[in-house]
């Protein structure tokens, strides 16, 4: 209880933009939870197989992957507030298409558009939180953001599990409607119950727009003002000297990182490779867990919603503990230790087919694997210079979602042909390689020293500009 009280106090200390962003995430979390539980089940209820479900998810992640870099450029040009508002509107429109248009071409196109819009929201997250926090509170803010979303996602998953049951029991909702409404509603009772639940999920996300309109975002103006200040404070001779120094530093940087060995050793490349391996491994099986429980293990949608909600609830608690663990063993050690601990749990899940055992293991696996996500996001931002963080985050997200996009249809194909065990085992191998790569480059205190060096480099550049 004292830990929860301390986090609530810390919420009041966050900057105003950060608090509004957290509130918006909380209001949209229930929608996310309902969709996570029901969307794949909705597609299967329409008569589609897991390979087509994988193709829809592939189009979504391809859209996200292609939009990652344009999203980064737009954020720098238009500012976070405009991007968050318009991207959220686009996600809502594309989501309506996914829920109302049942033919394959429309499902694929609306999934692609949802991925494009979602990419803007994903890319703005880390730079926005970094910009609106101090270095001392950054790990806590990243973790807090994930926790707030998870808590409301849990509520959404619980609601998503029981909504189809309630709606299907209604003879009015399952009965005949006017012709123009019947044209957009699914005819099968099970599919219609899922469809109406998903549409309800979209409606309850509308209040999440209110905090976004209250955000203050002067990033583009601030960039112009900084340039004007530099012009006023630095005479032409000093600016020429600064330009020469910058060019010299860039040249030395290129020399230092030249060659394959130097390139593969650079922090940005290593973190991108880690994201790629995690994204590919997750894409193989994460999108199909609801199908695994409902159609393979025989759980009801309500039971899966409860299980998945419990997993996110445990994940939220563990994420709150992660910053405390960072204080004891450091950032990289926390990420490595928690992710490594999740692998034996996933191995047992892949080998045992027994719902009463799989259910608690599912909670534990997700909690351990995702426990340090906020810590890892903060570290990946602080491991690169300030001026490169927007581009770096775009690269991280692109690496994860492109790999995820490639793996998702592969996972659906393998499941349809060989079952679930193979994709679990492949994911374990990929996760293991990513953990070893992260530890090999940043373990033994190297990552902590790197963050200190980057901060010092940013400080020197600020002094040089002044």
| CB-count burial class (<10 Å; 0-12, 13-18, 19+) for 184 | middle
| pLDDT at position 12 | 76
298 lies in some domain: yes
pLDDT score of 357? 93
Model pLDDT, residue 258: 47
**Residue 223 domain flag:** no
In the predicted structure, residue 218 carries a pLDDT above the cut 80: no
We report the CATH number of the domain holding residue 56 as 1.20.1250.20
Per residue in 76-132, pLDDT tens?
677 788 888 999 999 999 999 889 888 899 999 999 999 899 888 888 887 788 788
What is residue 463's predicted lDDT score, i.e. its pLDDT? Answer: 59
pTM of the entire predicted model = 0.68
Establish if 247 belongs to a structural domain.
Answer: no
Asked, for residue 219, whether it belongs to a domain, the answer is: no
Domain-located, residue 388: yes
Q: Looking at the predicted structure, is the pLDDT value of residue 408 above 60? A: yes
Task: Classify residue 234: in a domain, yes or no.
Answer: no
User: pLDDT tens digits, residue range 239-276?
Assistant: 444 444 454 455 445 545 445 555 556 788 899 999 99
253 occurs within a structural domain: no
Tell me the residue range of the domain where 347 lies: 2-214+260-465
pLDDT of residue 106: 92
**pLDDT (mean) for 185-202:** 88
> Mind listing the pLDDT tens digit for each residue in 33-43?
899 888 988 99
The tens digit of pLDDT for each residue in 150-171 reads: 788 888 888 888 888 898 888 7
pLDDT tens per residue, range 280-299: 999 999 989 988 998 889 88
Q: Is residue 26 part of a domain?
A: yes
Query: How many domains does the structure of the chain reveal?
Result: 1
């Amino acid at each position: 209880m004292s830990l929860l009280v301390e986090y609530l106090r810390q919420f009041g200390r966050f900057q105003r933009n950060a608090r509004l962003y957290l509130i918006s995430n909380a209001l949209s979390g229930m929608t996310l939870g309902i969709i996570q539980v029901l969307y794949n089940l909705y597609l299967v209820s329409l008569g589609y197989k897991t390979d087509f479900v994988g193709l829809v998810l592939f189009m979504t992640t391809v859209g996200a992957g292609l939009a990652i870099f344009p999203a980064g450029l737009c954020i720098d040009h238009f500012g976070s507030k405009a991007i968050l508002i318009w991207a959220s509107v686009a996600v809502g429109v594309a989501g309506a298409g996914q829920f109302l248009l049942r033919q394959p071409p429309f499902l694929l196109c609306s999934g692609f558009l949802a991925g494009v819009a979602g990419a803007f929201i994903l890319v703005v997250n880390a730079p926005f939180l970094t910009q609106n926090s101090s270095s001392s509170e950054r790990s806590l803010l990243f973790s807090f953001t994930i926790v707030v979303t998870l808590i409301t996602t849990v509520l959404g998953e619980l609601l998503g599990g029981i909504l189809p049951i309630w709606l299907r029991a209604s003879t009015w909702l399952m009965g005949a409607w006017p012709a123009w409404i019947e044209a957009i509603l699914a005819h099968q009772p099970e599919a219609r119950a899922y469809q109406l639940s998903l549409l309800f999920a979209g409606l309850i996300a509308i209040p999440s727009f209110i905090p976004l309109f209250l955000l203050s975002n002067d990033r583009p103006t601030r960039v112009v003002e900084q340039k004007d200040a530099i012009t006023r404070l630095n005479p032409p001779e000093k600016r020429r000297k600064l330009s020469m120094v910058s060019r010299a530093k860039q040249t030395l940087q290129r020399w230092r990182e030249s060659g394959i060995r130097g390139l593969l050793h650079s922090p940005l490349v290593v973190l991108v490779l880690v994201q790629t391996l995690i994204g590919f491994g997750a894409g193989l099986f994460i999108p199909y867990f609801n199908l695994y429980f409902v159609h393979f293990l025989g759980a009801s949608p309500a039971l899966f919603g409860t299980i998945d909600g419990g997993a996110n609830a445990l994940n939220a608690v563990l994420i709150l503990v992660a910053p405390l663990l960072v204080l004891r063993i450091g950032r990289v050690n926390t990420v490595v230790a928690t992710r490594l601990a999740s692998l034996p749990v996933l191995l047992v899940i892949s080998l045992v087919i027994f719902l009463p055992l799989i259910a608690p293991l599912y909670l534990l696996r997700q909690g351990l694997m995702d426990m340090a996500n906020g810590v890892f996001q903060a570290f990946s931002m602080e491991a690169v210079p300030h001026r490169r963080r927007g581009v770096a985050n775009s690269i991280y997200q692109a690496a994860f979602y492109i790999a995820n996009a490639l793996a998702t249809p592969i996972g659906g194909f393998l499941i349809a042909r060989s079952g679930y065990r193979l994709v679990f085992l492949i994911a374990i191998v990929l996760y293991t390689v990513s953990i070893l790569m992260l530890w090999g480059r940043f373990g033994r205190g190297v990552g902590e020293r790197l963050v200190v060096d980057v901060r010092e480099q940013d400080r020197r550049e600020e002094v040089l500009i002044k």
